[in-house]
């Protein structure tokens, strides 16, 4: 089953979307919003699935689905907790600034509490008041969970996964060092993220959802040029079950909580830093990583962070090259400030 929230008010209007993303049907008879569906999933999930089955078989009134009409599936959420499960990415970034990485990073997940009061739509501009803040994209996978009890195991966590999405976790790189030095974590350096137009249930992903990971190439384009295609199922040190259990260690998680994977990153086949796509590599899922590789190889970073007018596209396709979640496509824009 695929779900989307069409633009309407603060929480959108929930629709069920066909597997090929061509059609949708109003979910209002079941739930007006995605959060309302998640709040009562045991009852409403099957009813939404019945709508999806009817839509797939042409038994429902339907309308064309246009990705640019979609908000993020949860236009605002009660929790957005983002992990950093591709430890290769962390190791590379640390290596570039000659900082040691504690051995525990390979066994104890990193996770930060993100802002969730208002997400960007998948085709909304990225508002950036000041280019000097060093705006970066981060292509990630995220799941929406149901209620998770405190102290949940990996298995309980995995069973609570309701929907899977892609994310552009926008980061302001040049604000990060100052915030981390204050030791309270990210705040100003993590403005609103954007999620894929469509959220997909694990069962509808087939073989692409396995072992608590989403498998497939994270296709990232920067200004229309191929920038990354790392496989989200590879080099993910902590699967979503482990990330959810980590988040639930000292407190319950409420339905509608979003858990992120952190920036997707694959090790280079030769063991060195990853190569750009045009040199036969898998490229990158964020600019910070290519800058890191440039620093390691040439002594300095040359790829600039995002500037006003730059466009980012993030998408994942199935074996037949059909888009699974729809595309996040955003242009960096000046804000009113």
Q: How many CB atoms lie within 10 A of CB 142?
A: 27
Name which of 136, 106, 162 is nearest 314 in CA terms. Answer: 136
Task: Candidates 182, 302, 320, 321: give the one binding a second copy (CB under 8 A).
Answer: 182
Q: State which residue, 2 or 89, has the beta carbon closest to a second copy.
A: 89
What is the nearest approach in angstroms of a second copy to the Cβ of residue 277? 29
Long-range contacts of 32-38 (CB under 8 A, 24+ apart): 33/5, 34/3, 34/5, 34/73, 34/74, 34/199, 34/256, 35/11, 35/74, 35/77, 35/78, 35/256, 37/3, 38/144, 38/146, 38/162, 38/255, 38/256
What is the nearest approach in angstroms of a second copy to the Cβ of residue 70? 19
Of 59-67, 107-115, 198-206, 322-330, the window that binds a second copy (rule: CB under 8 A) is 107-115
Q: How many residues bind a second copy (CB under 8 A)?
A: 54
Task: Candidates 253, 264, 290, 327: give the one binding a second copy (CB under 8 A).
Answer: 253
C-alpha span between 189 and 14 (Å, rounded): 31
What is the nearest approach in angstroms of a second copy to the Cβ of residue 3? 20
CB 148 within 8 Å of CB 257? yes
Of 15-23, 49-57, 251-259, 293-301, the window that binds a second copy (rule: CB under 8 A) is 251-259
Beta strands in 13-155 (DSSP E): 13-17, 23-26, 63-64, 80-83, 111-114, 126-128, 135-136, 139-145
Q: State which residue, 82 or 310, has the beta carbon closest to a second copy.
A: 82
Within 257-286, the residues that bind a second copy by CB under 8 A are: 257
Q: State which residue, 88 or 257, has the beta carbon closest to a second copy.
A: 257
What is the nearest approach in angstroms of a second copy to the Cβ of residue 173? 12
Task: Candidates 42, 58, 103, 183: give the one binding a second copy (CB under 8 A).
Answer: 183
Residue 103: which residues within 8 A CB-CB, separation 6 or more?
none
Q: State which residue, 25 or 33, has the beta carbon closest to a second copy.
A: 33
Structure-derived torsion over alpha carbons of residues 279, 281, 286, 287, reported in degrees to the nearest 10: -30
- Rounded to the nearest 5 percent, the helix, strand and coil shares of the chain are 25, 25, 50
Within 281-320, the residues that bind a second copy by CB under 8 A are: none
Q: State which residue, 151 or 304, has the beta carbon closest to a second copy.
A: 151
Q: State which residue, 15 or 245, has the beta carbon closest to a second copy.
A: 245
Task: Candidates 5, 33, 72, 84: give the one binding a second copy (CB under 8 A).
Answer: 84
Within 109-148, the residues that bind a second copy by CB under 8 A are: 110-118, 127, 129, 133
CB 167 within 8 Å of CB 142? yes
Name which of 281, 243, 30, 236 is nearest 153 in CA terms. Answer: 243
What is the nearest approach in angstroms of a second copy to the Cβ of residue 179? 9
Q: What is the DSSP pairing of strand 139-145 with strand 258-260?
A: antiparallel
CA 219 vs. chain centroid, Å, equals 12
Residue 108 burial class via C-beta count within 10 angstroms: exposed 0-12, middle 13-18, buried 19 and up: exposed
Q: State which residue, 55 or 71, has the beta carbon closest to a second copy.
A: 71
What is the nearest approach in angstroms of a second copy to the Cβ of residue 32? 13
Site track 47-76 with a second copy (rule: CB under 8 A), x = hit:
-----------------------------x
Question: Which residues lie near a second copy (CB under 8 A)?
Answer: 10, 39, 76-79, 81, 84, 102, 105, 108, 110-118, 127, 129, 133, 149-151, 172, 175, 180-192, 246-247, 249-254, 256-257, 335-337
């Amino acid at each position: 089953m695929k779900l989307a929230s069409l633009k309407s008010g603060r929480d959108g209007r929930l629709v069920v979307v066909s597997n090929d993303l061509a059609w949708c049907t109003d979910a209002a008879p079941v739930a007006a919003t995605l959060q309302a569906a998640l709040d009562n999933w045991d009852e409403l999930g099957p009813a939404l699935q019945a709508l999806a089955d009817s839509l797939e078989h042409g038994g429902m009134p339907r309308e064309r689905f246009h990705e640019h009409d979609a908000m993020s599936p949860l236009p605002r959420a009660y929790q957005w907790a983002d992990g950093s499960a591709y430890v290769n990415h962390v190791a590379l970034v640390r290596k570039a600034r000659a900082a040691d990485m504690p051995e525990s990073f390979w066994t104890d997940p990193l996770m930060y509490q993100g802002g969730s009061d208002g997400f960007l739509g998948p085709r909304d501009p990225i508002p950036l008041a000041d280019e000097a803040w060093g705006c970066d994209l981060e292509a990630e996978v995220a799941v929406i969970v149901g209620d998770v009890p405190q102290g949940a195991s990996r298995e309980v966590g995995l069973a609570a996964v309701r929907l899977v999405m892609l994310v552009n976790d926008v980061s302001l790189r040049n604000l990060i060092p100052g915030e981390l030095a204050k030791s309270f974590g990210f705040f100003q350096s993590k403005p609103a993220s954007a999620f894929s137009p469509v959220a997909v249930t694990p069962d509808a992903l087939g073989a692409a959802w396995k072992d608590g990971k989403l498998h497939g190439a994270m296709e990232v384009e920067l200004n229309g040029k191929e920038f990354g295609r790392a496989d989200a199922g590879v080099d993910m040190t902590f699967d979503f079950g482990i990330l959810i259990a980590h988040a639930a260690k000292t407190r319950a998680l409420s339905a509608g909580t979003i858990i992120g994977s952190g920036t997707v990153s694959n090790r280079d086949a030769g063991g060195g830093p990853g190569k750009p796509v045009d040199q036969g590599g898998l490229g990158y899922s964020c600019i910070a990583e290519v800058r890191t590789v440039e620093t390691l190889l040439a002594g300095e970073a040359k790829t600039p962070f995002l500037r006003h007018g730059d466009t980012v596209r993030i998408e994942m396709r199935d074996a037949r090259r059909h888009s699974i979640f729809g595309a996040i496509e955003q242009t960096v824009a000046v804000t009113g400030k």
